[in-house]
Amino acid sequence: MNDREFSLYDIEQFLREAGAEKVTEDAVLNLEKELAKLADKVTGKAIRYAAHAGRKKLIKKEDILLTRPSSRSSHATHVSYSNPNTLRRRARMTNTASRPHR
């Protein structure tokens, strides 16, 4: 039985198609390990999404797609310091409860 997760030939071809002219065996083996780790992580998350949807044995395309990082989450953590006045205005707007009414 083959203990390989992925075909080493396919991994080498993938690297060459990505632009590598020469590929060492060590590079192929390390990429195989990283792909296996990533596949395990994605599969684990997809199984949790499927279970949450009430499916114990069926993983759908949507479960796999949900494992991808969303574009909104990366924007939510991004803070722009280009205009400090905007940040001050936002801070004043959120602290209106502490101001006395006129």
Name the pTM for this structure.
0.60
In-domain check, residue 78: no
The CATH number assigned to the domain holding 25 equals 1.10.20.10
In-domain check, residue 16: yes
Q: Contact at 8 Å (CB) between 5 and 32? A: yes
**Rg of the chain, C-alpha, whole Å:** 24
Domain total of the chain: 1
Give the three-state DSSP class for 9: helix
pLDDT of residue 55: 94
In-domain check, residue 74: no
**Torsion angles phi and psi, residue 69, rounded to 5:** -65, 135
Category of 29 on φ-ψ map: left (φ > 0), alpha (ψ -120 to 50) or beta: alpha
Give the domain extent around 38: 1-68
- Residue 2 clears pLDDT 60, i.e. is over it: no
In-domain check, residue 32: yes
In-domain check, residue 42: yes
pLDDT of residue 75: 42
In-domain check, residue 58: yes
Q: Contact at 8 Å (CB) between 35 and 6? A: yes
Stretch among 1-10, 41-50, 80-89 having the lowest mean pLDDT: 80-89
What tens digit of pLDDT does each residue of 17-35 get? 999 999 999 999 999 999 9
pLDDT of residue 60: 96
